[in-house]
Amino acid sequence: MGSAIEAAGSTGKACILAMGKAFPNQLVMQDYLVDSYFKDIDCTDSALKQKLAHLCKSTTVKTRYVVMNEEILSENPSLLVETEPTVARRLELAQAAVTQMATEAARACLAQWARPASEITHLVYVSSSEARFPGGDVFLAQALDLSPATRRLALFFSGCSGGVLGLRAAKDLAENNPGSRILLATAETTLLGFKPPSQPRAYDLVGAALFGDGAAAVLLGAAPFSPPESPLLELHLTAQILLPNTHHIIDGRLSEHGVGFKLDRALPLFIEAEVEGFCKGLLSRGGLSGLELNGLFWAVHPGGPAILNRVESRLGLLPDRLAASRRALRDFGNASSNTIVYVLEYILEERRKALQGPGWGLVLAFGPGITFEGILARSLV
């Protein structure tokens, strides 16, 4: 591993040096969700209950963490009334939650980094779960007691691609500011979009079955590295593309009732149609066109099982290539921008266990636009 780290130091590329995560206290066990969910929302519609039961099985999710709980609902009964203007209260609850989770994830990351927080030069903050100014970057910087001179960048409403977008921004900052150390934090909650289901809007049950809450943090920097820093992953090249005329496929609207989301059923098909060219373009730019796709590691944001299945099929990947993405989906659900960090943690864990050593891979996410975000990366463990 030493030679790989020395090589990373000679490239001048940004590296991930540490990672952390955090979750709210409410753990949702998917096997018991249906009865508890309909009890909490005081709904007796058997058809909707049957639909949620089907969705819970098809998502492959086993556990998730959520901010919403019985106490919040009992103290805020208006959240269960579709016509009530609840956005102000939802934002109040959500913003307190994302600040707390981001702080906890950042502290876990800093503990792994084992260097003082005073050495952080830049903060990148990502969230689609707040609408305020100053934004969550300010409250996180204060909670961590970062220097007032820390340079902040806040990225909002990028949805599921936000984590890779944040990594791309942090990479650029690290490589263009010698000696810098970048803290990236992402934090998300589904509280803004929580709604009791109804027959005209049965789609809302997808959120109840698939999405989770949480936060993640990543510490990045480029060489030289100071003890006890040990680079985990080198971020070599990045790419972003926007698919023309697809802005309606992932649709989110903030209103007086909260956030309303709609994912078109065609989303996996759009991703399938473009993912091969996108990935091969990244490899070509890196001079790695000859690499076998099954020889790479794959960190793909698990937007849902249909997306992972389409990516796997289109690229001809062996089942184990997306194991980390499927594991993250199983354990945390689709936690929006945070999830890619959970996937990367699992990949590095698996590579350590298998004693695989350094190797190339791709980090991918798909968000509103439709936007593709990608990073050609090299594992150093």
Output the pLDDT for position 355. 82
Output the pLDDT for position 7. 58
- Separation of alpha carbons 292 and 295, rounded Å: 5
Terminal C-alpha separation, the chain? 6
> 20-75: per-residue pLDDT in tens?
999 999 999 999 888 888 888 888 888 888 989 999 899 999 999 999 999 999 99
Output the pLDDT for position 168. 98
Average pLDDT over residues 190-212: 82
Tell me which of 56, 109, 160, 279 is the catalytic residue: 160
Residue 2 pLDDT class (50, 70, 90 cuts): low
- Separation of alpha carbons 346 and 230, rounded Å: 18
Average pLDDT over residues 222-240: 95
Output the pLDDT for position 232. 97
Per CATH, 20-221 and 232-379 having the same topology is answered yes
Average pLDDT over residues 89-93: 97
Residue 359 pLDDT class (50, 70, 90 cuts): very high
Decide if 109 is catalytic. Answer: no
CATH code for the domain defined by 20-221: 3.40.47.10
Which CATH number applies to 232-379: 3.40.50.1220, 3.30.450.20, 3.20.20.10, 3.40.47.10? Answer: 3.40.47.10
Helix then strand then coil, in percent of the chain rounded to 5, is 45, 25, 30
Estimate to the nearest angstrom the gap between the alpha carbon of 188 and the chain centroid.
8
Output the pLDDT for position 207. 83
CA neighbor of 185 nearest in space, from 122, 116, 93, 115: 122
Q: How many C-beta atoms lie closer than 10 Å to residue 200's C-beta?
A: 7
Average pLDDT over residues 136-148: 98
- Separation of alpha carbons 241 and 110, rounded Å: 32
User: Rounded to a whole number, what is the largest CA-CA distance in the chain?
Assistant: 63
Lowest pLDDT segment from 37-41, 106-110, 188-192, 325-329: 37-41
Whether 16 contacts 233, CB under 8 Å: yes
Output the pLDDT for position 183. 98
Total residue count of the chain as it appears in this document: 381
| Model confidence at 4: pLDDT above 60 | no
Q: How many C-beta atoms lie closer than 10 Å to residue 51's C-beta?
A: 19
> 98-135: per-residue pLDDT in tens?
999 999 999 999 999 999 999 999 999 999 999 999 99
Output the pLDDT for position 47. 87
CA neighbor of 166 nearest in space, from 381, 300, 341: 341
| Model confidence at 10: pLDDT above 70 | no
- Domain boundaries in the chain? 20-221, 232-379
Output the pLDDT for position 283. 97
Residue 260 pLDDT class (50, 70, 90 cuts): confident
* Mean pLDDT rounded to a whole number for the chain: 93
Q: Is the pTM of this model over 0.85?
A: yes
